[in-house]
Amino acid sequence: MSTFSLDDIALTHGTDKASDVHDFASRYDRYFCHLRDEEISLLELGIYQGASLKMWEDYFLKGKVFGFDIQIPRYDGEATLIQGNQSNLDDLADLVALTGQVDIIIDDGSHLHADQVTSFECLWEYVKSGGYYVIEDIHTSYGGGGIDLDYLYGLIDRVNNSEDQSGYGNEYSDIAELIFSKSLLIMKKI
């Protein structure tokens, strides 16, 4: 295993997940370090120029990394890149047909409520047991068009209210943990 922290790797590749911008990498290290040496699969929605995909490749050396974006950049890494729109159910169906079940999904795509919800509701069932689904930049929920706080509060009800007055039926009863970290929502699956 490499001795470099995820933040060291993030700084090297210049992704805004590093400590000089959003500081997500050190928190991801905390939640994902037990998977670092495993043959995991990770899907990130939102590639941009591929800096974060390179970060994941260098962190999960035995892992398989997938990137999904409406626009595919020129990329010289190992990750598999898939073109599509995260709000389009057909594109998402094509995506999961390729990836199968994955250990980690990171939504760093459009940061728009409808897109984030469509992607989450479609992709949650493709997260493996014990895996994670992360929605990044939830500060955009405060006037920036990101995922509605009422939707998130509904998920809190879903996780914590076994009598189910949340209106979700049996949906999402397999969320084990809902972690609100600065600008990040991390959901762990039972």
Ligand X SMILES: C[S@@+](CC[C@H](N)C(=O)[O-])C[C@H]1O[C@@H](n2cnc3c(N)ncnc32)[C@H](O)[C@@H]1O
Question: Which residue ranges make up the site for ligand X (CB under 6 A)?
Answer: 15-17, 44-48, 51-52, 69-71, 85-87, 108-110, 115
Helix, strand, coil proportions of the chain in percent (round to 5)?
35, 25, 40
| 13 counts as catalytic | no
Least distance from C-beta 183 to ligand X, angstroms?
12
Q: Given its phi and psi angles, is residue 146 left (phi above 0), alpha (psi -120 to 50 degrees) or beta?
A: beta
Distance CA(172)–CA(190), nearest Å, equals: 10
- Pick between residue 26 and residue 85 the one whose CB is nearest to ligand X: 85
- Phi and psi angles of residue 113, each rounded to the nearest 5 degrees, phi first: -50, -55
CB 48 within 8 A of CB 34: no
Least distance from C-beta 115 to ligand X, angstroms?
5
- Pick between residue 52 and residue 99 the one whose CB is nearest to ligand X: 52
- Pick between residue 16 and residue 157 the one whose CB is nearest to ligand X: 16
Least distance from C-beta 125 to ligand X, angstroms?
19
Beta strand segments in 97-140, E? 102-107, 127-136
Least distance from C-beta 85 to ligand X, angstroms?
4
- Pick between residue 151 and residue 153 the one whose CB is nearest to ligand X: 151
Among 13, 22, 34, 111, the active-site one is 111
- Which residues are designated catalytic? 111
